[in-house]
A and B are shown apart, each in its own frame.
Chain A
Amino acid sequence: MTSLPDLNQKIQSAAKRLLAEGKAEVVIGCRQGTTPMTVAPIFCRTEDDCNQLIWSNFAKINLATYLPKYPGKVAIIAKGCDARSAVGQVVEKQIERENLYIVGVACGGLVDVEQIQAREPRPIRAAEEDWATIKLSGDGWSSSLPKEDVLRRNCKTCVSRTPEGVADELIGEPTEALPADDYADLKALAGQSLEEKMAYFKGLVKNCLRCYACRNACPLCYCPVCFVDETRPQWLGKSQDEMDTFTFHLLRAFHCSGRCTSCGGCEAACPMDIKLREFNRLLDEEVQKDWNYLPGLSWDQTPPLTTYRPDDEADFIK
């Protein structure tokens, strides 16, 4: 397996080369953050910027989020999910294929800082990482965790850890895709009573602050005016009313249906650690069942909600 320093080296030289060759005006990637276990997205325009690029298990949001707002030629250092979202944006005509250069990087999954903190409640003053292990240290102590134990939930069912097929170039040795989400928990939930289902889903969002960080971190949420910001009529009240909050989450997920690449950016951005993807998964399951569709895997896909088949089966319609 390529070591992280090696990988970083390759990413940095690729970025420098792309800038030098004029293939991109900016390379979007990640750099070390200012506190332990954080990374910051970086927009590289100079060689110095490129020298800060890293691959990290602590990456949080999906870098494709930045693409639809970016006017010029742009390269993105993309894990499987970043690349899938970028492809989705091209398919949805939010960005031009010619303006996009995907530097694919093999990914072994990201870690969930919340899970780390649950296992290690002492103040963590420093964290080191390699491909498989997270080493933590604090005031007079140190410990290490296998990355496998603290993987983000979405990373455990990733079907495209390496953006093969869509990347313009690939860095690192391709990692094997994992078995897709079997939605076993949702299937089990489906058998429960209405009250239990409702309690589960309303319970998920009861801490929601309605900050909409999930929306802003989402590479699919590029609408110029989001439905929550519409004022005439105003669809959602602004208070912490349970139903307003619940409606927001239902519609947010609905708007992502057939488009979500399970990058987990929404959950990573949520300051209240809400399991937002549960709503998305409900719809992903249905999209896969009905139309066998996984977004962002090729340039010529037709998103399922932009098309139809005369024989789509909907026996609930009388």
Chain B
Amino acid sequence: MAEYIVKENALKDFFKALTEGGKRRFLAPAEVSGKLQMIETDPEKVSLDFGNTHQSPKSAFFPQTEKLMAFHKDTAKSDPFVYKPLGLDETAPMVLFGLRPCDARGLVVCDRVFQNNRFTDPYWKSKYESAVKIGLACHDPRPACFCTAVGGSPFGEAGLDAIAFVRDGGLALKTLSAEGGEFLKGLSGLESAEIGAELAEKKQAAEAGMPGPLDQSKVAGAAVMEIYNQPHWKDTADRCLNCGTCTFVCPTCHCFDIQDEQNEKGGLRMRNWDTCMSWLYTVHGTGHNPRPTKTERMRQRFMHKLKYIPMKQDGACGCIGCGRCVTLCPVNIDIREVARQMNG
């Protein structure tokens, strides 16, 4: 594990160096139409002073609309009406700077879905595994932040190749993975330094104001149907609008819809984010809907985050505590409150 500092006046050089001379696409928190987002940006425009990006960074690996394949209809040419994959060969690898540790953990949860026990999603994998992910620790978690309650930390390291934190006069960095160490070695702007003590101190300070662990022991021990049939779901569902905001901003919501579009020349198959809050999401061709009302749909989301994902991912919580859904829910359905109710 190598440790470095980057002086303030060397920051821009360092960010430029991260692109490896333009070979990598550089993504960092930057403002786009009034919102801070993790986007491909100019190294000059990186923001270091922020709570968190407005939306989660999952879109870097799993864009809201992603073309999967295309076909043409020209019967004079070869292979008409045969789909050919798109976007797998030419994708330039990414380097992400400024991932919050909660979001990096969210990507790990997604990764275990996109690369599950039976199938590997090549569109995700080609982007995710080639990316270098450099985190930026949180010094000043926001009121709705609760990563510490679900097993994370504002200085958490999961899913990251290196973690940085802001200090007087610049940044400090610690590499976390072999790939991260290899990638950062010798980059312009970096100076070797001992930062261990400072990191430990800052980590402790940041965690001090944060909530303690959210007890999910009963949820973990209970049968699915026991939690599913709890009476509190109806109360929460009363006020849920099924608007889906929570799913669109969630770093671990990975559901999508596959759609075809075509014109006279050919067609595309693409995937678009979808939401379990939608009536259309589960409705069968026959009109039967296995989740007919908002109660089932709202319950599905919380069961998925807090019961199903832990069951499928060795106990790892499907919620990583970024607080986006808590802040943006128009009717203040707070996942922490729901988690407490589920735990009895």
Contact = CB atoms under 8 A, between A and B. Distances in A.
Judge A-B direct contact (beta carbons within 8 Å). Answer: yes
Closest 8 CB pairs of A and B: A213-B243, A40-B332, A269-B330, A33-B332, A216-B243, A34-B334, A239-B65, A41-B239
23 contacts: A33-B334, A34-B326, A35-B326, A40-B333, A43-B239, A60-B330, A61-B330, A66-B238, A123-B141, A125-B143, A139-B209, A206-B33, A209-B273, A211-B243, A211-B245, A213-B241, A213-B243, A213-B330, A216-B243, A237-B261, A238-B257, A271-B249, A272-B35
Most chain B CB neighbours (cut-off 10 Å) among A61, A206, A241: A61
B334 A35 contact: yes
B59 to A, nearest CB: 10
Contacts of A212: 243-244, 278
Nearest to A65: B241
Nearest to B278: A229
Contacts of B35: 207, 272-273
A184 interface: no
A188 interface: no
A237 B259 contact: yes
B143 A36 contact: yes
A39 B239 CA distance: 12
A38 interface: yes
Interface of A: 33-36, 38-43, 60-61, 65-66, 123-125, 139, 206-207, 209, 211-213, 215-217, 225, 229, 231, 237-241, 265, 268-269, 271-273
Given A43-B239, A213-B241, A273-B34, A238 B334 contact: no
A273 B64 CA distance: 18
B31 interface: no
Given A123-B140, A225-B279, A238-B259, 5 more contacts: A40-B333, A66-B239, A123-B143, A213-B330, A216-B241
A239 B270 contact: yes
A274 to B, nearest CB: 10
Q: Determine the interface band of chain B, counting residues with CB < 8 A from chain A.
A: 35 or more
A270 B331 CA distance: 12
B181 to A, nearest CB: 33
Contacts of A123: 51, 140-143
B5 to A, nearest CB: 26
Contacts of A60: 330-331
Given A239-B65, A240-B64, A35 B327 contact: yes
A72 to B, nearest CB: 13
B336 A209 contact: no
Contacts of A272: 35, 54
Given A36-B143, A216-B241, A239-B65, A229 B279 contact: yes
Interface in B219-267: 235, 238-239, 241-245, 247-249, 257, 259, 261
Contacts of A225: 279
A239 B280 contact: no
B337 interface: yes
Contact of B332 (A38, A65, A66): A38
Nearest to A213: B243
Contact of A35 (B65, B144, B238, B248): B144
B178 interface: no
Nearest to A127: B143
A215 B238 CA distance: 17
B199 to A, nearest CB: 21
B293 to A, nearest CB: 9
B177 interface: no
A34 B337 contact: yes
B272 interface: yes
A164 to B, nearest CB: 27
B148 interface: no
A149 to B, nearest CB: 19
Given A35-B326, A217-B243, A271-B328, A211 B143 contact: no
A119 to B, nearest CB: 14
A34 to B, nearest CB: 4
A43 B240 CA distance: 11
Nearest to B209: A139
Interface string B48-62: 000100100000000
B331 A40 contact: yes
Given A34-B337, A123-B142, A213 B235 contact: no
Interface in B295-344: 326-328, 330-334, 336-337
A241 B65 CA distance: 9
B65 A240 contact: yes
B120 to A, nearest CB: 24
B143 A239 contact: no
B33 A213 contact: no
A265 B270 CA distance: 32
A153 to B, nearest CB: 15
B332 A39 contact: yes
A212 B257 CA distance: 15
Nearest to A113: B327
A41 B51 CA distance: 27
Contact of A269 (B141, B235, B243): B243
A123 B35 CA distance: 16
A59 B274 CA distance: 28
B175 interface: no
A69 B300 CA distance: 20
Contacts of A40: 239, 331-333
Most chain A CB neighbours (cut-off 10 Å) among B64, B239, B330: B330
